[in-house]
Amino acid sequence: FRSMQKVGLGFDLGTTISLASIVNQSGRPEVVRGPSGRHLIPSAIYFDTNVVVGESAMDLGLRDPHGFAEAFKRDIGKPHYSRDVRGAQVPPEVLTAYLIRHMMENVRHSVGEVESAVITVPAYFDEKKRTATQQAAGLAGLKVLDIINEPTAAAIALGHEMMLDKQSSNKPRRLLVYDLGGGTFDVTLLEFADRTFRAISTDGDIYLGGRDFDERIIGIIAD
């Protein structure tokens, strides 16, 4: 195993899909794959005698929706998940912690022990939602190095690649980040130059993601 002291780790906790990535020893980003070889993890949990996370949870949830939880990112910061799970009200932080713990296990399988990470969140997340995300990580046994906005992460990734490729980044540039996710929609205008990033303006909608598109289409077909 490579030492996690020599690599950086980041988690993208999505409404529908989550992902872990590292910056390897050569300074390049690298997506973490689980034991099955997959890197995209459905943000889904199934409760029965055991707790199941990811693709298997999706399959079990189709047969038994009473033990199934998904899209709990939308409820982070609230007292409990939007519906009961097995007749119980479950805090979104607990559900998120199970997801983070599963991702940590994938990272351990690929690169070794993990203790800390950076977590990305939507630009619209307020302090309450950010604190709840940090609490979820704590429940999973993960130390949060920083919580950054998803559009900012995208801009940093671009700037990092430009520096690695030795492209000039001294001249100020403006970048529009269009982030249409499974549950959210964010647009952020950023300016970056000489390794400095500044958010000029941002806006978003928590109920304008791919999931909402699906539900609207289903509603039209049902009607």
Contact 197, 190 (CB under 8 A): yes
Which of 13, 41, 15, 21 lies closest to 160, judged by CA?
A: 21
Contact 172, 192 (CB under 8 A): yes
Show Cβ contacts of residue 170 under 8 Å, excluding neighbours closer than 6 positions: 193, 194
Helices (H) and strands (E) in the chain, counts: 5, 12
Distance CA 184, CA 24 (A): 29
- Tell me which residues are annotated as active site: 12, 73, 150, 179
44-47 β-sheet, strand order: 51-53, 44-47, 68-70
Phi, psi of 189, rounded to the nearest 5 degrees: -100, 120
Contact 4, 111 (CB under 8 A): yes
